[in-house]
Structure formats: C-alpha cells, structure tokens
Amino acid sequence: MNLESLDLHSLQTAYRDGGTPHELVRVLHSRMEARGDDHVWIHRVPLADLLAQADRVMADKAAGKKLPLFGVPFAVKDNIDVAGMPTTAACPDFAYVATATSPVVQRLMDSGAILLGKTNLDQFATGLVGVRSPYGAPSCVFDARYISGGSSSGSSVAVAAGLVTFALGTDTAGSGRIPAGFNNLVGWKPTRGLLSTRGVVPACRSLDCVSVFSLTCDDARAIGRLVSEFDPADPYSRERPGATPALPAAFRFGVPPPSQLEFYGDTEAAALFASSIERLRSLGGKPVEIDFAPFRETAELLYSGPWVAERLAAIQPFFDEHPQSLHPVTAAIIGGGSRYSAVDTFRALYRLEDLRRATEASWKRMDVLLLPTSGTIYTHAELAAEPVQLNTNLGLYTNFVNLLDLCAVAVPAGFRSNGLPFGVTLIGPAFTDDPLCRIGGQMHRALGGRIGASKTEIGALPAPAPTEARTIHLAVVGAHLTGQPLNGQLTSRGATLVKRSRTAAGYRLFVLSGTVPAKPGLVRSPGVNGPGVELEVWSLDEAAFGSFVAEVPPPLVIGTVELTDGTSVKGFLCEPFAVGSAVEITRFGGWLAYLGNVSASGGIAVPHAPVVR
C-alpha cells in the first residue's frame, strides 16, 4: 500500500482496492522513521499502538459500526488533550498526562480515524512562525531554509509531507491559516464555538478555535461535518442559529485597494494575489473595493492590547512559578500582559465595538472578503534577526478574524518562481463556514496543481457530485418561519435562510382550523390586488428538500410561489377546499403580524376580515 497522496478520496479508493489500516500505519511509520528528527512531532504513537488502533477500527467495521473515517490517519496539535498522552503546549515543564480526550478528537476516533501522534507548535500557541519551541523548528516542506509558519507548525507539515490525511490545529490569531499558506494546504478556521475547545490549553480562551489542516476543501468539509457539534460542557460552544446567511450564486467579494495591501517587497506574492482576484471573478464573483483600515486596526488590538493579558490569565500560576521554563520571546509576550489594567480592557472592548461597526459598512457591500493569507514568507535566519516584528507582519491579514467573529478558509493560490507556495484566505460572517469552503474548493480546482507536497494534481480528484451543490429555494409563510414552532424541521436538515421577502399581489392568507401548531394557508387568487404576504426563503439541498416535502400534511402542499420581484420559488400553498369557511388574514400582510394582533387582543381571533380585491 503505497499512496502518493493521503487525501480522503485516494485513501478510500485504496481501501476499496483491498488495502488495510494495518498496511497503512506500517507505511506511515516507515515514512516518519525515514524523515528522522524533522521537529514535526512532540509525541509519536508507537507502532504497536498504531496496529492496536487498526485492530479496533477493523473490529468496529466488522461489527457493522458506521465509520466515515475508517482507517484515516490524523495528527493533533500538542495543546489538545488525548487521554493517556502527555500534553505539553511545547513546554516540557508544563507537561501533564491527560485523563480525558478532547471531544473533537474523540469524535474523530469514534468515526474510525487513527491517531498517529501529537505535533509541535509555537509554545503556548503564541506566534505565527513555528520556531518558538524547545522541540525544534519545523520547516516549510518546499525549502528547509524557510519557516513552516505557526503556531500549528507540526500539524501543517505532517499533512503537507504525506504523513497524515488531516491534522487538528488551533487558531487564535491565524495559527491555522499561516502554516497552510506556507505549505500549500487548506486551513479551515471555523466560526468561534462551532468546534468544542474543551480539552484545549487556552491561548486566548474567548477567541480560541480548533482548526483543520487538509489537502483539499472537500476533505475539510467532510471533517467539519463530523466534528461541528454543540458541547454543553464548553461555555464557549455555540449552537448553529436557526437561520444562517447563505452566499448567493453571484456573490460579491471584497478586496482592499492596492494602497492598503502590504507584501513587504514580495512582488511575486502581489502578482499571485492579483491572479487570485481574477480567478474568483471567473467563478462568478464580483470584486468590490472595501476599506481595510478598520480590519487592520482590529488586527493590531490582538497583540497591542489587553488580549495579551488573556494569554497570561491562561497560565499565570505556572508563569509566575516557572518563568525560566518559557521560550524567551514567548515569556516576553505573555509577561507583557501584566501591564494592562481593567480600565485598559474596557477601553479596548469599546474600541473593538467601534471598529466592528465600521466594518459593517463593508459587509453590506460584500458577501466574502478575499485577502492574502500572508504578505510574504521568511527564512529561519530572517526571523531570528527580527523575531517580533516579522511575526507581527504575518498577522496583518489574520489577527482580526476571531475578534470580529468571522470564519475563514485558507487555500492554495500558486507558487513563486523559487518554488515557495502562496495562499489566499476567504473570510465570511459567522456560520458561513460550509459555503465559504465550497467557494474555496472551486478556487483551488480552478488553480490546479498539486496538493500539499505530493505529486497528485487536484484536477485528478473527482469534483463534488453535482447534486451536492444543487440547492432548492423554499418559501415559508407560517409555522416554519424563524422562531416559530416548526422552524426546526428546516434547520435540522441544514437549511439556511436566504432572504425575507413577500409574495406577489395575487395571494390570500387564511387561518386554518384544527391545526396543531396553528398554521396559515396561502392560496393563489389571480386578479386579487393584495399587499403581498410576508415570507422567508430558505435553501435546502435536494435530499433535505425531498425528506421535508414528505412530511408536509394536507391540506398544505408544495407548489410554486411568485415573489414580489417577479421571481418564483417552491413554497407552501393550501388546497382551496380547506379555506372555504376559514378566517382570511391577508390584510395583516403576514402570519407574524396576525399573531401579534391576536396577542394584543388578548388571544381572541380577529373577526372575518374583508376579502381583498
């Protein structure tokens, strides 16, 4: 079993062709042995234990257990707990043996994935460079003179070098994106709270995210579907809202004007970013120039403001008792948190809200923000000469994302003439992770080229099935509206709110008798000149739409509804026989307005309203 690429498709194909997890872990163990001390790993799982994991997944499969990640190798950044393994956060004196496994890691192992080990990082996840570790500094897989990026350094190299299919990192300031850009990978930084951070050594606990490194966006999405789950034991975990914004087919993407872009003299990076703008335009996007200044000022708050004190709060007892145990640069940064007062913190929070409001002007004009993942890349020697300033440079396009509650996916965007990769990042509002990854995947495929450091071309991998991307828009007018009793029948199927609108004039709305919960009936009446009925348009994939329609009870049906702008979508209608003696409520303009009237009148139904003509 000798795979050139460990992407999910290639690995699953190998298993279908007769390969086994036992063969795979032996191959990967040999690969790691051949690399010697590459500073990627802090703790490697011994071969005997890898084979025991292979035994387990084979037994689970034989027992009929569903294993979407059967035999898939992965790695975990060593600030994430795995029961029975040491967690060091790249600080040997801080190390402890975890007694419980992080829920995210546990879900992966329960899905059949095989853990190969725990990876190196910038100590206490403080840095974007990957060199602040007593376990050594990993290097870019394309040129050992250059840094790997951090803080999730080992996780990124493990994926790019073909040692694992995917790896978990963490991302507070860009630690899941910068290393992706430096190693020709996809780096997904989810919406804060979408993945549980229980069992993670905090950096800035209010901002931390568990991130995913993978070879393709399709792989990142597949992992994301498995690990995105609300964790009630994590106070920072968040449930997906009932309605999340969907990205339109003809999406608008924001780009800063050239005067606000900084590449630190890297002219080839600038040219590759310009090409990425045109690539996204060719996929149906419309570029919109936005003011990057408030985003940039927000980025500066992270390390030049009291959020540094949150890093100190995470480890203060250890820091106070063992200051000599920290890397000198890490100690200087975290120790600097002590100079901030509560007054400073509140002032910074106020300023953050000012900046958030300032960015809203840009989000009204764009659906997605496109930025370089980093302006340039540095050698180990350059970084040693200016360790703080060059790290700051790398955070220009990343540090603001968590502060502004955004999600992001870093994707490959080509190579410089010296063979070093360049990456761009797509950034979107909270909970737009999946559509953002879809667009990222389209960009990656349009670029072409190899995945990670392998020889496998992304074009050689099958594109997502057409049905996967096909969605159906559904108009709802009553009990399925946001906040109403049956809205969960949509959100549980992954439906997303597209927009709020109204029907065209020729529709009437009635209260249906005997329905639990109470429901209205929408009837088309050509010639009626009504106000139009308020509705919401939701987006579902075909499979979800089919299962939803199967549950629609009579006299309701799914038909075609014309909107006030002249377009048509599928939507709830009512068979005419059911409204013969029903109360008409068209004049209220919608179900929610009618319910408000009922509540205001003490819960007594309104008398029969005059028919709208």
Query: Where in the sequence numbering do the catalytic residues fall?
Result: 77, 151, 175
How far is the C-alpha of 608 from the C-alpha of 298, rounded, in Å?
Answer: 56
Which residue in the block uniquely carries the two structure tokens 């870093």?
410
For 184, residues 6+ apart whose C-beta sits below 8 A from its C-beta are 141, 142, 160, 412, 415, 421, 423, 450, 451, 452, 453
Question: What separation in angstroms does the CA of 413 have from each of 281, 486, 539, 592?
Answer: 14, 43, 30, 47
How far is the C-alpha of 412 from the C-alpha of 445, rounded, in Å?
Answer: 10
**Structure tokens, 491:** 């959100």
Instruction: Report residue 387 CA to chain centroid gap.
Output: 29
Question: What separation in angstroms does the CA of 277 have from each of 205, 232, 364, 432, 563?
Answer: 34, 40, 20, 20, 34
Residue 1, judged by CB atoms within 10 A of its CB (0-12, 13-18, 19+), counts as middle
How far is the C-alpha of 544 from the C-alpha of 529, rounded, in Å?
Answer: 34
* Dihedral sign of CA atoms 230, 192, 438, 491 in order: positive
Identify whether the C-beta of residue 217 lies closer than 8 Å to the C-beta of residue 409: yes
One-letter amino acid at 369 equals L
Peptide bond between residue 466 and the one before it cis (omega within 30 degrees of 0): no
Helix (H, G, I), strand (E, B) or coil at 127: coil
Residue 565 CB coordination number (10 Å): 8
How far is the C-alpha of 296 from the C-alpha of 269, rounded, in Å?
Answer: 19
DSSP class per residue in 272-293: HHHHHHHHHHHTT-EEEE---H
- What are residue 273's phi and psi, to 5 degrees? -70, -40
For 134, residues 6+ apart whose C-beta sits below 8 A from its C-beta are 90, 91, 92, 123, 327
Identify whether the C-beta of residue 532 lies closer than 8 Å to the C-beta of residue 589: yes
Helix (H, G, I), strand (E, B) or coil at 305: coil
